[in-house]
Chains A and B, each alone.
Chain A
Amino acid sequence: MDKEHLTAREAGLVNCLDCHLLAIKGDGALQMRCPRCGARLHLRKTNGMARTWALLITSLILLFPANLLPIMTVTYLGEREPNTIIEGIEHFIQSGEYLIALIIFFASIVVPIFKVVGIMLIMISIQKRWQTWLKHRTLMFRVIKFIGRWSMLDIFVIAVMVALVNLGTLTSIKPAPAATYFAAVVISTMLASNTFDTRLIWEGA
């Protein structure tokens, strides 16, 4: 062997992702547990690719109702008006709150789509065994994982407004069906980035 670097797998070691201990890999007949913290050890996350694909396809399907259906119903002085995410952003632009419009646009529309498409591209690149842009792909995944949770923003805005704006039948704000779909999108994309194993990008490098 005359390679420049050695990975834990090539050296017969398993890295515990919970406590960072390196354990010597057994014969593989038994389920290995970390000698320090007791967590299950895997060379790579179990069925990483299949689980991540399943969760990403789920998110992709859920993205449609989340964006097309109304996310909340605003009743103001007796007038009922259901609002989708996009319409909510339009309201902010009309009232001149450009920064808020931008934040919601990013958190609710750009991030979820970027997340699903981004992880899919990384997965395709692994299945096609591309050996380039390794560092960039890892960095992209790191960014996706970091910003993913911020999509939950809209759900909290709804929670606050529904509780506060409840002034009889004339003026109230109520959640609408897309809220459930949207929360499900955020949760399934977060799970997808947890089941994905970035070490697969570096396999064979």
Chain B
Amino acid sequence: MAKFQLNTREIDPEGLIACPECDLLIRRTEPGPGVKCFCPRCRSILFHVKRNPVERTLILSLTGLIFFVPAMVLPIMTLNVLGLEQSANVIQWVSALFRTGFHMVGIVVLLTVAVIPLLKLLLLFYVSMAIRFKVDWHNLGSFFRFYQRMDEWGMLEICMLGILISIIKLKDLAQISYGIGLLCFVLLLTITLIASVTLDDHKYWSLIKNVKSFNR
């Protein structure tokens, strides 16, 4: 993209965007799908145009929601030491932290692994449905903004690495068998990751505005 040359006193904000990381003004272009635009000054990613962004996100959020409950309540894995068995699901991780008196840590785990991932999927589903079927549901903008701000606080993929490390740590101590919950957890995290990577937020914001004017 060309740098914005200062040669006019009248500036039309409609045809411009600003880099969120260095505030440079850049002329807006309408590139085709798959194109990634970088800021010419600081090299931040300005936007990335995706194919079928709404349908894809709608399907992904719905699929994610299907796997959410089994991923939380089915046992992730079972430990077997000398005939003693202990299995745990995500909810039991949190209750074990509460039981041992570490309430703050328990709340952090509950939020980052259960509450925020669920909210993210619900919000994405709600906004995508409204955009896809052009219905002006309440608070579309606020909900989508809430999604964007919570995105980094959902930590399913980090938790997965934590599960892998615990497996390696425990494998010498005891026999481990894996539950169906682990499979659901992996699916949930994969779907959530794909949904946030393929989300086209620029497109969503302009579509949210269209929905509002369409229904006026």
Binding site for B on A (CB under 8 A): 1, 3-9, 11-13, 15, 17-24, 36-39, 76, 92, 95, 97, 100, 103-104, 134-135, 138-139, 142, 149-150, 152-168, 171, 174-175, 179-180, 183-184, 187, 190, 198-199, 201-202, 205
Q: Contacts of A201 on B, CB cut-off 8 Å?
A: 22
Q: Which of B13, B22, B41, B94 has the most CB of A within 10 A?
A: B22
Question: Least Cβ distance of B160 to chain A in Å?
Answer: 8
A-B contact pairs, 18 of them (CB 8 A): A3-B6, A5-B3, A5-B41, A6-B24, A7-B18, A7-B25, A13-B18, A18-B148, A20-B201, A21-B205, A38-B141, A156-B113, A157-B166, A159-B97, A164-B79, A164-B166, A198-B21, A202-B23
Q: Contacts of B102 on A, CB cut-off 8 Å?
A: 175, 179-180
- Pair A155/B108 contact, Cβ less than 8 Å: yes
Given that A6-B25, A37-B205, A138-B44 are known contacts, is A165 also in contact with B79, CB under 8 Å in the complex?
yes
Q: Contacts of A183 on B, CB cut-off 8 Å?
A: 104-105, 108
Interface residues on B, range: 35 or more
Closest Cβ neighbor of A202 among chain B residues: B22
Which of A6, A7, A22, A167 is the one whose CB lies under 8 Å from B81? Answer: A167
Closest Cβ neighbor of B6 among chain A residues: A6
Binding site for A on B (CB under 8 A): 3-4, 6, 11, 13, 16-25, 41-44, 47, 76-77, 79, 81, 84, 86-88, 92-97, 100, 102, 104-105, 108-109, 112-113, 141-142, 144-145, 148-149, 152-153, 155, 158-159, 161-163, 165-166, 168-170, 172-173, 201-202, 205, 208-209
Given that A5-B24, A155-B109, A202-B23 are known contacts, is A164 also in contact with B77, CB under 8 Å in the complex?
yes
- Pair A179/B105 contact, Cβ less than 8 Å: yes
Which of B79, B113, B152, B165 is the one whose CB lies under 8 Å from A100? Answer: B165
| Alpha-carbon gap, A22 to B20, bound state (A) | 11
Q: Contacts of A5 on B, CB cut-off 8 Å?
A: 3-4, 6, 24-25, 41
Q: Contacts of B47 on A, CB cut-off 8 Å?
A: 20
- Pair A12/B205 contact, Cβ less than 8 Å: no
Q: Contacts of A38 on B, CB cut-off 8 Å?
A: 141-142
Question: Least Cβ distance of B135 to chain A in Å?
Answer: 18
| Alpha-carbon gap, A164 to B43, bound state (A) | 45
Question: Least Cβ distance of B42 to chain A in Å?
Answer: 5
- Pair A22/B16 contact, Cβ less than 8 Å: yes
Question: Least Cβ distance of A18 to chain B in Å?
Answer: 5
Q: Which of A3, A38, A76, A156 has the most CB of B within 10 A?
A: A156
| Alpha-carbon gap, A155 to B13, bound state (A) | 46
